[in-house]
Each structure stands twice: as structure tokens, then as C-alpha cells.
Structure 1
Amino acid sequence: MPVTIVDACRRDGRGGSPTAVLDDGPLSDAERRAVPALMGTSHAVFVSAQDDGPDVSIRFFTTEGELPACGHGTVAALAVLAERAGSDDHRAVLRTSRRTFTGRCIRNGSQFTADFDPGPVDLREPTAHESALVLPALGIEPGVLASGLRVASVGRPRMLVPVPTRSALTALAPDQVRLRAACDELGLLGAYVHTPPTGGGRLAARLFAPSIGVPEDIANANSTACLAAHLAGRGITDISVDMGDSLGAPSTITATTRQGASRPVVRVGGTATIARITVLPQA
């Protein structure tokens, strides 16, 4: 079974999150969960064309199971679809188990720049109980926390945790066992810790998600979309988020927010390259 490895959400031609993309087939969910470990990636994306048109169904898996959404996985899938179509400006209608949405991918040589509609973002303040479980597991003392703590969801909730500086972000060393227990109890995907944006909308973030088998994610576009919706309430409509530095894989995700009829409308994405095409080894 051919597998395309895509480095998604690269920064200045470097890094990115290696993501396995392959055609879906007669696989069990257990076999799909095995793919990330077999391919040395955090996530795997399974794509299948619809019989009645150009729409494409996509499914996302980690070693822990299926996810309702995956932002950098969507960027990777769009790059592969554009490559297969031989198009320099490829547009697709993507279907998951929960929603249908649009994506676009621009090709420039070997680089693919993709963006998509992550869907509506739900935002709320965390409860005291949620904060009391998650923040100590992250190793964040109340005096280090910046303002703007939120729980946000584009399919599965996660906590947005602001810290004042990049040095405070770099110094984090979460207790992964304690954080997983907290996220499992609260039904959270994980904790997305971020710095404040600069005047140009640049900031840094780290996502810790042991509950889905990813102690730290190299790049996470859906959490960036959540943050973009939150910051839109402060008049910040364009952000670029640096991730992956602590893992030696510099990545950047961009998001643009515009006000819709009832809530902010976000487009999120990044650049990608196809690293290699290989075959799926037997487990």
C-alpha cells in the first residue's frame, strides 16, 4: 500500500510535521491506528474519492484512535490531492464524519500552500476545576499565567493557555501522566500553550496532547484556528504561529479571521512539501 509522507506546515523551507497520507481501503480501525507508528509519524490521513463527484472523504488517526479533525493532516491531504491532480491551484470539497468543508492548495514548484475552513469555533472560559487540573500538570504557576485562558473547540475541546514570553513557553516540561489524566477526566484533546501576539500577529505555541498519543505536536492547525477566533475578539485578524522548535522541527501555521454573520470565520493553513513516497510495512 503506497504511503506519501508530507512535511506539513513548514517554516521558511524547513521542518514541518511529517504526516502519512494514503488511500483508504479495507482496513480495520486497529490497522489504521498502527500506521503512524509504522511510518514514524504522529498522524495518518486516509483519503477516498467519492463515486459521484470530486469530493474526497478524509479520516484522521493517531495510535490512540480516530480524530474528528486534524489541521496539519488536512494541509497534508490537500498537498497530495493537488499533486495527484497536477494542478497549480487545486480546490477540493472535503468530507469527514462530522462535516463538509472547502480547501485550497496553491503549488509553486515543490512547495504547496494550503488553507481550509476549520468550521465554527466554540469558546468559553474554563471552570475552576478544569484550571486546577490542567495548569499544575503543565507546570504553570498562577503568577506565570497571562490573561485569556479559554476552552475552545472545532470538534474536540482543548484548553488555550497563555504565557507571557517565549522563554516561559520554552521552559515548560509538563507532567505527561498527570496531564493525560486531567485531559481524560475533562474530555480535552490537550493544552495549547501560547505567547501573546506581537504587533504583526506573530506568536509561538506548543500543544501537549498525551490523551491522543501525542505528548507534543509539531504543528497543530486546528488549535491555531481556535486561537485565531479568540484573538479576533481583540481585533487581531491575522496570525502566524511558530511551533515545533522544541522538537527540532520548526513549523508555522497561519490563520486569517473575518467576521461572519454570527461569528468569526477562520481560514487556517500552511506550506507543505512531499518528502517521499514509500510503502506500508507489515505490522
Structure 2
Amino acid sequence: MHIHSLRCFGARPGTGNPALVIEDGDQDPDVRLSLARARDTTCVFLDTSADGALVIDYYYPHKRSPLCIHATLAVAAVLLARDPYTGTIAVRTAVEGQRLELVRTGDDYFVRLSAQPVAAKDVGADTAAALLGVPAGSLATPPRVASIGSPKLLVKVTDTDALYGLAPDLARIAAWSKETGINGIYAWCRRDDGTFEGRNFNHLDPRLEDSATGVAAGALTALLGLGIRLRQGRATGGDCLIRTRMEGGAILVGGAVETF
């Protein structure tokens, strides 16, 4: 078993979401989940299928996931470093079989993918506001559901003060997410400098709030129809910057990756 340790989406060296890329790992899902719990970080397992395709399998410390963008960027950094002249590497996800493309642009890595259909219905402002612990009138626009492979309820608030003044009911959000099939709430706002800032709520423990949520950045890009620069991590003491862009019908989500 070979383990690579990387940080992704860091806004400066030494910051970013950690991920472990594991090659030649045990195939048992329970063993994989146990490793993620023991390491207390996101683990992504790189496998080769019977037909020769590269397959990536994601595990958080608390569950297996259909898609994790920052872990996919870690895979991109490992694979593309072996052949810097390789333009694009195609992979697919283990749970949903979603096809992804890994690319490098300058010093940044990107995952190219497409917006995905969402079965879940949009949620009313009253429901979203109650889950976030704020008055419905404080939401800037009606909440919307969007997905690039892991559906998010996107809730716009007025500014960064409102973003960090939220009082989410994490237990209710977890129960609501299970009932609706939506993977948590992503609250966001537009900053005065034209960038965006966001927070992700899908854990029961507030200490586990994401420092960067690539699937939410991609979902927000799909919703807005434009590439963005999205800041995240202030609530966790992190400093992350996610970059997205659109190329025809494709969405690219990426940022910096470094080994540690």
C-alpha cells in the first residue's frame, strides 16, 4: 500500500484541505472506512478496473462518498506528476460511475465534469432559514438545489457578516439531508471584491465544518452560469481558495495542491 499526503485548495503554502491518496490498498470497503477513521482525514483509493479504467473511491472518516473534489485534485497531482506532458487523465468514480477528467493549468489542478440532474426539489426560504437559525427575510435570494455529483442546497446570504452569524441546527440539517437526498446546505455570499465566500453544513460536529467544498463550488458555478473564485475556511481557521471556470457545457473546479 502506497500513501500520498496532500493539501488541496490552499490560498497560500501550508494551507488547504488534507487528503490521502492510497494506491494498492485493501479492496474491502469496511477496511477503507476504518483507515479514514484512523487517519481522521479524507482518503481516496486509486484502483484499476477489469477493463483498465482508473477508478477512484472516496471515504470520509464518517462515511463513503460518491464524489469529493479536493480528494480528486490530490489524485490529479499524484498522477500528473508522473508524466508532466500528459494533457488529460480520465477517471471514473466508484460509487456512481461518474466520469471525470483531470487536468493541470499552470500551477493549479482541475477536475472537469458536468452539472448533474437533481431529483430533489428546491426548498422554501422558511425551511432553509429555520435550518440555518436565521429569519427567512435575511436570505438574499430563494434557495436552490444544484449538483455536479453531490447535491447541495445553495443559500445566498447578504454578506460575510451574515455568513458568519448563522446558527445552523446541525442535527436537523443531517436529518433533513437524509430525508431529501441533498448533501447538506452551502451558504454563500458575494464579496465586495467580486469574489465569493461560503460555508458548508453537513456534519453533526461543528469542529468538522469543511475548509473547502469543491462540490459546492461546482454546484454554485452551475447555478450562476459563470466561473468564480470562492473563499472558504475562515470558520475553521483555514484559508482556502477554489477556482472554477466553464468550458462549453463542462465545469472545471480546481486550485492549488501541495504535498506534505
TM superposition score normalised by structure 1 = 0.81
Report the CA distance between 1:72 and its aligned residue: 0.9
Is 1:7–1:19's contact at 8 Å kept on the other side of the alignment?
yes
C-alpha separation between the residues in 2 aligned to 1:11 and 1:59?
Answer: 26
Offset, 1:216? 1.5
Contact 1:105 1:114 in 2 (8 A): yes
Whether 1:13 and 2:13 are equivalent positions in the alignment is yes
Contact map agreement 2:103 2:112 (CA 8 A) in 1: no
Correspondence for 1:224:
217
Letter in 2 for 1:115: F
Distance 1:156 1:71 in 2: 10
1:278 maps to which residue?
A: none
**What is the CA–CA distance in structure 2 between the aligned matches of 1:122 and 1:197, rounded to whole Å?**
29
Q: Which residue of 2 aligns with 1:281?
A: none
Matched, 1:272 2:260: no
User: Is this contact kept in 1: 2:147–2:218, CA < 8 A?
Assistant: no
Residue from 61, 66, 77 that aligns with 2:75? 77
**Whole-Å separation in 2 of the counterparts to 1:136 and 1:216:** 19
Work out the CA distance in 2 between the residues paired with 1:77 and 1:214: 26
Residue 212 of structure 1: how far off its partner (Å) = 11
SS of 1:64's partner is coil
1:160 aligned residue: 154
How has the CA–CA distance of structure 1 residues 24 and 138 changed in structure 2, closer, same or farther, with 3 Å as cutoff? farther
Give the residue type in structure 2 aligned to 1:19: A
Asked if the contact 2:9/2:255 (under 8 Å) is kept, the reply is yes
SS in 2 for 1:20: strand
Q: How many residues align?
A: 257
2:173 paired with 1:179: yes
Once residues 45 and 190 of structure 1 are traced to their aligned partners in structure 2, the CA distance between those partners, rounded to angstroms, is 21
Q: Percent sequence identity over matched residues? A: 26
Secondary structure of 1:217 counterpart? coil
Alignment-derived partner of residue 55 in structure 2: 57
Higher relative contact order (CA 8 A, sep 6+): 1
> What residue number does 1:256 align with?
245
Q: Which runs of 5+ in 2 are unaligned?
A: none
Q: CA deviation at 1:2?
A: 3.2
- SS of aligned partner of 1:193: strand
Q: Please state which structure has a larger fraction of its residues in strand.
A: 1
Structure 1, residues 211-249: CA drift from partner, whole Å, max 9, x if none?
A: 7999421111111011011111xxxx2210001111111
From 103, 112, 116, the equivalent of 2:111 is: 116
The structural deviation recorded for 1:24 is 4.5
Q: With the length of structure 2 as denominator, give the TM-score of the two structures.
A: 0.88
* Deviation sequence 1:45-81 (CA, Å, 0-9, x none): 111245766x421111113332111111111111111
- TM-superposed CA distance for 1:34, in Å, is 1.9
1:10 is paired with a residue whose SS is coil
Matched residue, 1:94: 91
